[in-house]
Amino acid sequence: MKSTRSPICTVMGHVDHGKSSILDKIRGSAIVKSEAGAITQAIGASIIPLNTIKKICGDLLKQLNMGFTIPGLLFIDTPGHAAFTNLRKRGGNLADIAILVIDVNEGIKPQTIESIEILKQYKTPFVVALNKIDLISGWQTKKTNILSSINEQSKTIQQILDTKLYELVGKLSEIKINSERFDRVDDYTKQIAMIPCSAKTGEGIPELLMVLTGLAQRFLEKCLECNVDGSAKGTILEVKEEKGLGKTIDVIIYDGTLKKGDTIVIAGLEKSITTKVKALFEPAPLAEIRDKKSNFKSVKEVRAATGVKISALDIDDVVSGMPLRSCQKKDIEKTKQELQQEVEEVLIETDGEGIVIKADSLGSLEALIKLLKENNVPIRRASIGNITKKDIAEAESNYEKDSLKSVILAFNIKAELVKENVKIISNDIIYKIIEDYDKWKKDKLLEMQESQIDKHVKPCKIKIMPGYIFRQSNQAIVGVDVLAGILKVGMPLMNSQGKEITEVKSIQADKDKLEKAESGKQVAVSIPKVTVGRQINENDILYSSIPEEDFKKLKDLKAFLTKEEIEVIKEIAEIKRKDNVVWGVWISSF
Ligand SMILES: Nc1nc2c(ncn2[C@@H]2O[C@H](COP(=O)(O)OP(=O)(O)OP(=O)(O)O)[C@@H](O)[C@H]2O)c(=O)[nH]1
Ligand SMILES: [Mg+2]
């Protein structure tokens, strides 16, 4: 039998911006507004029935002028830590809809961007809860709806709120999110609604629920037609050891019914696990938890959408984010294949060129892969869990060919193994990993090019200083003024007619031996094969004698030459051409 299940709504956002508090307030309002059945606590989630939402929203929902068929909303809180960053199901986000919480006084923070990136990738509709408005200094809490409350604030406060709100609208538009205050939105398919609110005073919470419910109903009705009596489909939230129960798995069920005794298949990294539901648990009513009887209540069956704790044998190797299905005995093999295929669609194992990536869960790995693909970064291997010797070896195999790909990107994973030729970039914010990777690549490229340029004879211009002839011949020693570029030991030198006459044997200044001398320095150099008064004289200008091959290479590395060096290299080319008209002409001019 087809029926509409509750849309799954995740609450996302930066640490401490008030995700849990907003959910608490929604739950709190639910309990205040009606007694029995106001909310159902599920494992890792709370379900607010439509009737309760209607009571909380009062006349607000009527304004929307819509008929509601969704039974309610199932909320999942995502804790600040990263394991929950991306709750996935095949082909999408486990969440049908989301609340993005932003602290009005703090604005956009790293995890806000992270959340937006994930919502964008999966095209998940969302609203922005602009939280903590009560902390705007001078804010007066009113017991009316949020719009009247805003209108009743002083003009200054109204202005402050508007400034903060539109600053945020501006920032969001930079990352291609078109947003607007909820009452000023004219097309919910094009604009993200922002609802100013306070989880502390409750202001704006009914409006937040109204917009969310309206959005859920309008856009989700079709995709929520699930088969309540069919086999259960779910996503693993967490694997947990519970006192008295042993290993258990917390699962969000988004389709079908799961019963005690059902056969379940859970996809694994190498192979799937098939087991039986030994027991199903929901959170115990508050009173029982207080009596310390148990935190959990055993139930016979659960229906989508809900969160449930499953106790079963052989679940030690279950990984969070993995898909779960219940099935008939005869369908085990088929289900196994389907689930394993789903996982293999995410994991990557190739011999091609590309980087290695690791993540702590299937969901975060998928999100990371998607972002890298958008950035055209080739992936050789993508897998879950700690970095292994094999990962290192795979990354290192790129080193010879392209050291920029000798990299492991790790999301929410400790980087313990190290190897000289393999760069490991780890972070618990996905887009930070990508930023760090880009930065590392840029720096590394510069470094590589810089070391490249040092292999070539670079442009340099010196003048033999009058009165500083220390030795005339037999390895002449003269004082020189470095007019441009860097004079280096080993550098071949030519005169201003373009004739290569000598090279720099050594450089000395104040009795110190130097490897090089920069423009502006005056140093003594020893130069063989020349005699002062014959091949060279006081006041002569000498240049580095750049071989034609080097001239070409320097053209490609132009970015690493100073303006002064570029001027000199042009002079050098002119001089070389006096002797050989085609010198370097096949290289377009500098
Ligand atoms: N004044 C005020 N304080 C708030 C509001 N919302 C949350 N807080 C406070 O902000 C702090 C963080 O709130 P949480 O709800 O725990 O934030 P969170 O986003 O769930 O944090 P993590 O789960 O750690 O990421 C707590 O001290 C809350 O009491 C609000 O609207 N007004
Ligand atoms: Mg929290």
* CA angle centred on 255, ends 252 and 257, rounded to 5°: 90
User: With a 6 A CB cut-off, is 80 part of the ligand 1 pocket?
Assistant: yes
Distance 20 CA to ligand 1 centre (A): 7
Distance 322 CA to ligand 2 centre (A): 23
240 phi, psi to nearest 5 deg: -135, 145
ω before 305 within 30° of 0 (cis)?
yes
Q: What is the spatial distance between Cα 192 and Cα 129, in angstroms, rounded to a whole number?
A: 11
Those residues with Cβ within 8 angstroms of residue 549's Cβ, 6 or more apart along the chain or in another chain: none
Mutate to test the pocket of ligand 1, among 16, 29, 101, 208 (most ligand atoms within 8 A of CB): 16
Which residue's entry shows tokens 């293999």?
344
Q: What is the spatial distance between Cα 105 and Cα 137, in angstroms, rounded to a whole number?
A: 10
Distance 379 CA to ligand 2 centre (A): 34
Average pLDDT for the chain: 90
24 phi, psi to nearest 5 deg: -60, -40
User: With a 6 A CB cut-off, is 19 part of the ligand 1 pocket?
Assistant: yes
Distance 22 CA to ligand 1 centre (A): 8
10 Å Cβ neighbour count for 56? Answer: 24
DSSP assigned state of 35:
S
Q: What pTM, to 2 d.p., does this model score? A: 0.78
Q: What is the spatial distance between Cα 192 and Cα 484, in angstroms, rounded to a whole number?
A: 58
User: With a 6 A CB cut-off, is 198 part of the ligand 1 pocket?
Assistant: yes
Amino acid identity at 205: I
Q: How far is CA 435 from CA 38, 110, 173, 205, in A?
A: 45, 12, 20, 35
The closest residue, in CA terms, to atom 13 on ligand 1 is 18
Give the residue among 120, 86, 96 at the shortest CA–CA distance from 216: 96
Q: For residues 96 and 124, is the Cβ–Cβ distance under 8 A?
A: yes
SS (H, E, C) 121-146: HCCCCEEEEEECHHHCCCCCCCCCCH
User: With a 6 A CB cut-off, is 199 part of the ligand 1 pocket?
Assistant: yes
User: With a 6 A CB cut-off, is 81 part of the ligand 1 pocket?
Assistant: no
* Strand stretches in 165-318, DSSP E: 179-181, 192-196, 225-227, 233-242, 246-255, 257-259, 263-266, 273-276, 279-283, 296-299, 301-303, 306-311
Q: What is the spatial distance between Cα 248 and Cα 241, in angstroms, rounded to a whole number?
A: 6
pLDDT value of residue 60: 87
SS3 for 391? helix
Does the pLDDT value for residue 84 go beyond 80?
A: no
Distance 128 CA to ligand 2 centre (A): 16
- Tens digits of residue pLDDT in 159-197: 999 999 999 999 999 999 999 999 999 888 899 999 999
- Tens digits of residue pLDDT in 473-528: 999 999 999 999 999 999 999 999 999 999 999 999 988 999 999 999 999 999 99
40 — pLDDT class (breaks 50, 70, 90)? confident
Amino acid identity at 221: E
DSSP assigned state of 115:
H
Torsion angle (degrees, nearest 10) of CA 37, 40, 46, 51: -30
- Tens digits of residue pLDDT in 284-318: 776 665 666 678 889 999 999 999 999 999 999 89
Q: What is the spatial distance between Cα 8 and Cα 505, in angstroms, rounded to a whole number?
A: 76
